[in-house]
Amino acid sequence: MPLSSKTLPSSSPDFRILQPLTFLKILSLIAVSVIAVVAFAAALSPVLRELLPHVRRQMDLGTALCALLSAVSLYLARSRSSFTERRFSYLLASIVILISSFTLLSYLHSRSAGLHLPTSMWQTATFFLSLGVLILGLRIERPVLSHCVDLHTALLCTFALVLFYNAALSALHRLDLAVQTDMPCATVSCIVLLAMVAYLLRAERAVYAVLFASGIGGKTARLTVPFAIILPAIRSVGRGNTHTDYVTAVTVLVVLSLLLLVCLRIQGLEREVHDLSLRDELTGLYNRRGFYVLAEQALRLAQRSGEPFSVLFLDLDNLKQINDVYGHETGSALIQQMAAILCDTFRETDVIARLGGDEFVVACKASSAEIDHAIERLQNSTADLNHSTGRPYNLSFSLGHATNDYLVHQSLEDMLQYADQAMYKIKRHKKLLSLSTNSDTRNIPIQI
């Protein structure tokens, strides 16, 4: 029976679509930084305070500091950031959480004392508190925690949209864009831009990636989701309201979630149809075509995030002789057993394929040390299988591997060629050793 094979996430983003958005993310973070620095300087300098009184009213000192720290933290949290940059990003996010938490507690204390403070104070503090927490969890990929981060992202973006709609509708209702709303324009702009950047960063590894995926599911999402986003604004304008209530926002969030689920289902069905031409019938693994399609994508993801990438090339020993002596059904069973061991040894996100005949290949995000450890597990599993069956023949293989490290960017074809050459060196060595010692190749240890 075909094995359940390893697959990549069905909602993996197409980086040909995401790539143009990289410039938008950087431009948004620069805009937020400029606004925050100007407001910060105006708050500290009496001279600038007199020259730029309007700027001083647009953003207070705490909000400007949180906006600036959040912009830098989001930039350092990008996919290609180093380990040190990510740690510094988490430090800045933690500072944002502390500042916004203090502001929120001060607001609650003042309200309990009977003081009437502007609503924008708790709204801004709540946003930056949520944003700081989100930055800390942007890279989480564990199933349950990942869904929690996805929900947090959705709530944060919905909150930012509500603040934007309220400011825009209030100004539109008064037909005077210069009129000050409860939430200053500069603060609203920073909130919306920061929420957008956080969403785009999370979309690279979350359920929202369907918006940036190729195929029918991705196109459907890109066509329908914008209409759901602008729905509350259209509804409020039609009723002559000056604000968008949170009940409407929650309704839109539910509609958006249903749309994304439908689009994910469409993409899943599309992937199943597509997989019919990418699978090996005997093992259920990817075939040659499927391997090149998915391994190329996995390699681009690794290079984009600055992670090492490895390719392992494996060839079964003496399969022809086993077929001649024991029949092709026995050889097919050996191929299936090898596929099962590969699936048990490597991760679900790794690309495992049968290139044809007795050749297998694995592509994965792994350093040279990690791939050596995986090879050791592979050899131990094979030895356990041979020991438990007691057959007159053993499952034996030769393999080679190549690693694309953090600095050197090789093509997938070059890595395959190198791994293939390394595998054939081992295979020739085993044959020569077998001829010289007249021993069974199944007892020769594999060394890479």
Same domain, 174 and 81: yes
Chosen domain end from 205, 227, 248: 205
Percent of the chain with pLDDT over 90: 28
Domain membership flag for residue 426: yes
Which domain range does residue 399 map to?
Answer: 288-443
Same domain, 200 and 294: no
**Both 295 and 199 in a single domain?**
no
Tens of pLDDT, residue by residue over 345-394, are: 998 889 999 998 889 999 999 888 899 999 999 999 999 998 888 788 88
| Residue 374: inside a domain | yes
Pairing of strands 309-316, 359-364: antiparallel
* One domain, residues 178 and 73: yes
In a domain, 228, yes or no: no
Structural domain includes residue 325: yes
pLDDT tens profile 90-109: 999 999 999 999 999 988 88
How far is residue 124 from each of residues 92, 131, 146, 195, measured CA to CA in Å?
A: 17, 11, 25, 12
DSSP helix/strand/coil, 310:
strand
DSSP string, 95-116: HHHHHHHHHHHHHHHHHHTT--
CB 107 within 8 A of CB 123: no
262 domain-assigned: no
172 plus 292 within the same structural domain: no
304, part of any domain: yes
Tell me if 235 is assigned to some domain.
no
Of 66-75, 268-277, 425-434, 437-446, the range with the lowest mean pLDDT is 437-446
Cα 277 from Cα 146, distance rounded (Å)? 31
Name beta bridge partners: 316: 397
Same-domain status, 305 and 183: no
Q: Which two tokens stand for residue 90?
A: 């988490």
Please tell me whether residues 172 and 308 are part of one structural domain: no
- Asked which of 205, 230, 256 is the last residue of a domain, the reply is 205
Please report whether residue 146 resides in a domain. yes
* Torsion angle defined by CA atoms of residues 41, 130, 155 and 159, in that order, rounded to the nearest 10 degrees: -30
Q: Verify that 328 and 200 share a domain, yes or no.
A: no
**pTM reported for the whole predicted model:** 0.59
DSSP letter for 90, please: H
For residues 52 and 181, membership in a common domain is answered with yes
Q: How many domains does the chain have?
A: 2
Could you tell me if 260 and 210 are in contact, meaning their C-beta atoms sit under 8 angstroms apart?
Answer: yes
